[in-house]
Amino acid sequence: MTRLKTILFLVSLFSLMSCDQLNSTKTIRLGHGLSTSHSVHKGMLHFGERLKEISGGRFKVQIYPSQQLGTERQCLELLQIGSLDMTKVSAGVLENFSPSIKVFGIPYIFKDKEHTFKVLDGPIGEELLTGTEKYWLKGLGYYDSGSRSFYTINKPIEKPNDLKGLKIRVMESQTAIDMVKSFGGSPTPISWGELYTALQQGVVDGAENNPPSFYLSRHYEVCKYYNINEHTVIPDVVLMSTHLWNSLSEQEQAWVQKAMDLSVIQQRRLWLESEIESLEAVKAAGGHVSYPDKSNFSEMSQYIADQYAQDPLIKSFIYKIKNTQYDEN
């Protein structure tokens, strides 16, 4: 009788444990390098809200912003070993892990925003995301990161020759390094979190980034000239560790992807608002915003596309992107 009671107790305990496991909430840890006021962070908050809703509370997302868990490169490395679940990085950093992503760093490869989204949201963008899986990184979607332009401390950049002799901060990205070199500048890789101090102390003469990042980082306090030449359109990429992705059921994977698709829509809407607000705020603070002739920059950087086209894989993506049909209205 005693043995029977023990068996029944263990069965009941196991059942309770199984129910707890079935009903337990899985926490996804997501780290990124931007501030909580950035549209990217707000897009991630939306992702967490939608995932909780879609999964019926089975998932929650814990977000660690502002490089709390390390730089973008460090977060990718944590994903690869399964110590972090998700992150958002610039494609410029991701190219160090998945070489085909370098195609995004080629200057002026996109004609406009419509062309960009047609590529990112179509078969080409999907193929590039899928290509990250062999590196233990599951690409889930592209956030809008606008176009990148130069900002400087002491003088405006109206033509490529104005960059000669200037030390320009770039990401840890070979395409970004090559791009600045093509204009005669001296590329200097510095982490995003250290850039404000580097500008203040004169370690570099300027940097390049999109309007919201220029404004929200308060770099306009040091750099009075924002020169919108829009040399590259490098998207942000949201990724999950394949260690986690492969452990999820098909239903759970579908929930995650659906929530991400919804967050992409929300983030892109917020981005458009942020771009306008950022430029207005920079001007109001006394910043000088100029719009140099892009054709001069495009012509001088053409050899970068030719150089990277020597790689057959990159060449095929360049061809596909340039021949993507879209509505130019």
- In CATH terms, 148-233+287-322 corresponds, of 1.10.260.40, 3.30.830.10, 3.40.190.170, 3.55.10.10, to 3.40.190.170
Taking the C-alpha atoms of residue 178 and residue 321, their distance in angstroms, rounded to an integer, is: 20
pTM, 2 dp: 0.91
Answer whether 95's CB lies under 8 Å from 178's CB.
Answer: no
Which percentage of the chain shows pLDDT scores above 70? Answer: 93
Kindly tell me the burial class for residue 24, based on how many C-beta atoms sit within 10 Å of its own C-beta (0-12, 13-18, 19 or more).
exposed
**Per-residue pLDDT, 257:** 98
Flag whether pLDDT at 15 surpasses 70: no
- The CA distances from residue 53 to 8, 57, 128, 174, 245, in Å, are 37, 6, 29, 40, 19
Flag whether pLDDT at 34 surpasses 90: yes
CATH architecture classification, 2-144+235-278: 3-Layer(aba) Sandwich (3.40)
User: With bands split at pLDDT 50, 70 and 90, how would you rate the model's confidence at 205?
Assistant: very high
Answer whether 136's CB lies under 8 Å from 154's CB.
Answer: no
Taking the C-alpha atoms of residue 41 and residue 47, their distance in angstroms, rounded to an integer, is: 10
**Per-residue pLDDT, 43:** 98
**Per-residue pLDDT, 234:** 98
Flag whether pLDDT at 265 surpasses 80: yes
> Among 5-14, 30-39, 54-63, 277-286, which stretch is predicted with the lowest mean pLDDT?
5-14
The overall average pLDDT reported for the chain is: 93
User: With bands split at pLDDT 50, 70 and 90, how would you rate the model's confidence at 98?
Assistant: very high
**Interval 245-274 mean pLDDT:** 98
The residue assigned the tokens 């390390």 is: 70
**Interval 230-249 mean pLDDT:** 98
Q: What string of DSSP letters covers 173-225?
A: -HHHHHHHHHTT-EEEE--GGGHHHHHHTTS-SEEEE-HHHHHHTTGGGT--E
User: With bands split at pLDDT 50, 70 and 90, how would you rate the model's confidence at 329?
Assistant: low
Side by side, the strands of the sheet bearing 26-31 are 59-64, 26-31, 86-90, 236-241, 137-143
**Range(s) of the chain covered by CATH 3.40.190.170:** 2-144+235-278, 148-233+287-322
Which residues contact residue 16 at a Cβ distance below 8 angstroms, ignoring those fewer than 6 apart? none
**Per-residue pLDDT, 24:** 86
User: With bands split at pLDDT 50, 70 and 90, how would you rate the model's confidence at 327?
Assistant: confident
User: With bands split at pLDDT 50, 70 and 90, how would you rate the model's confidence at 5?
Assistant: very low
| CB-facing half-sphere around the CA of 1: CA atoms within 13 A | 0
**Interval 31-44 mean pLDDT:** 96
